[in-house]
Amino acid sequence: MHIPSAATSELELLGFREALERSGKSGGYDPERWLYVPDFYTEYRYILGTRGTNPLICIGINPSTAAPDDLDNTLKSVERIALGRGFDSFIMFNVYAQRATNPDDMEQEMNLRLHQENMKAFEYVLQQSEDFPSVWAAWGNIIEMRAYLKTCVQDMIQIGERYDARWYTAGKRSKRGHPHHPLYLRKDSPLDPFDIREYCQCCL
């Protein structure tokens, strides 16, 4: 089980571009199939997914222990739904890039540099779609656990607008209005259009 060993501000972080350039060189997985940045297990993760021209981009809160060929149940569900809805690939992205099995262990204060590098990763992810990027908000009530997560989402909205991103949810929203987590959804669960700006105004 992963527990953060230190605040990310105490770590020597790889910027997204540098991590992307190194990706696929550490071995242990097929880089022609997988997109994994950084491509080794560490305290943070920018991207994990499969390669394609029509990915479903799923947005969680923070990454856990999953890696190529070793998906956890949440990512197995994400892949199942992506393929079930006609996408050729999936990309798991997160509002905040710090790894923590238990979201309670996320750092109390946002590491601005980690966030900025994560937003570079988000822009890269959006560029992987040949058409309008399909972004699935799937973070559940965990979005309320840290105040800085709203700021992260607002920055993602602005970046998404530059690429005409289309936002969706799957499954019933929570009583607080937050999008359903991917776990336990059927592979034929519909993707419902999601007004992300209205959501930020009323629910965050």
Contact (Cβ atoms closer than 8 angstroms) between residue 167 and residue 201: no
Q: Does residue 1 carry a pLDDT above 80?
A: no
pLDDT at 184: 84
Mean pLDDT of all residues belonging to the chain = 95
pTM of the model: 0.96
Band of pLDDT at residue 58, cut at 50, 70 and 90: very high
pLDDT tens digits, one per residue of 68-117: 999 999 999 999 999 999 999 999 999 999 999 899 999 999 999 999 99
Band of pLDDT at residue 190, cut at 50, 70 and 90: very high
Neighbours of 27 (CB within 10 A): 8
Neighbours of 117 (CB within 10 A): 21
Give 176's Cβ-side CA count (13 Å radius).
Answer: 12
